[in-house]
Amino acid sequence: MLHYYGETMKRKSRKLFDLKRREPSREEYPSILIVSEGENTEPSYFRQFRLTTAEVIPLGIGYNTMSLVNKAIELRDKKVGTSHEYNQVWCVFDKDDYSDDQYNSAIFKATQNDVKVAYSNQSFEYWLLLHLKDHQGGALHRDNYNKEINNLLPQNVKYDGKGSKLVSADLFKHLLSKDLKTGKTLQELAIRRAKKLHQLKDSYYDSFAKQESMTTVYKLVEELLKFC
């Protein structure tokens, strides 16, 4: 729920409009918990959606895919029955160098415990790349993402994938800009491309770990866009 005015303004508003029939209040925004393994890229990206009821918690080093899911479940369960209960819980993690079993098991456990997963194979930066390029989903090592992304960005916008790994305000703004050929925003194109790859990989591979290159970050983005 977003609050823009202080108590004084609220009292004045009541005096001005107490004789008028009030408009139905806007549907309350859901409380969304986003737990990410990454400490820089993912938080700096998701926090720019400006949904005040979305809480982004970067856990960082020391958490693998399974322990990340376990922590998300723990954080959710602590709020159950309180006024701060989460409506949705998401885990954001990458395949990286985790074993196939670690990766698959974490996704299965999350699903079984009503935790949604925005997973990427190999890493989150693949989601950024899909804004800029209609990549066909072939194997692409994550060490190459930074170069691929920056080669496709305008000169005044950069992604420091070898350093800070932050999604800057300028980069985020560019990801929302329009593609001149299609008239679609780069974000819309990324969602379309990610969906297509997800469907393709799902039809070929039962193992999530074998679905390279792809990402389901688009699912979380679509959810956030409903309330932004």
**Crossing angle of helices 125-132 and 145-152, rounded to 10°:** 30
Is residue 15 over pLDDT 50? no
Q: pLDDT confidence of 69, banded at 50, 70, 90?
A: very high
What DSSP designation does 80 have?
T
Q: pLDDT confidence of 53, banded at 50, 70, 90?
A: confident
The residue that leads in pLDDT, 26 or 156, is 156
The residues near 47 (Cβ < 8 Å, ≥ 6 apart) are: 56
- Confidence at residue 9, expressed as pLDDT on a 0 to 100 scale: 34
C-alpha span between 118 and 96 (Å, rounded): 14
Mean pLDDT of the region 146-170: 97
Backbone conformation region of residue 114, classed left if phi is above 0, alpha if psi is from -120 to 50, else beta: left
Mean pLDDT of the region 153-172: 97
Report pLDDT digits (tens) over 85-140. 999 999 999 999 999 999 999 999 999 999 999 999 999 999 999 999 999 999 99
The residues near 216 (Cβ < 8 Å, ≥ 6 apart) are: 117, 118, 119, 120, 194, 198
C-alpha span between 215 and 200 (Å, rounded): 12
Got the DSSP string for 142-204? GGGHHHHHHHHS-TT----TTTT----HHHHHHHTSBPTTTSSBHHHHHHHHHHHHHHHHHHH
- Confidence at residue 27, expressed as pLDDT on a 0 to 100 scale: 54
Mean pLDDT of the region 164-180: 97
Give burial (CB, 10 Å; 0-12/13-18/19+) of 124: buried
Mean pLDDT for the chain overall = 88
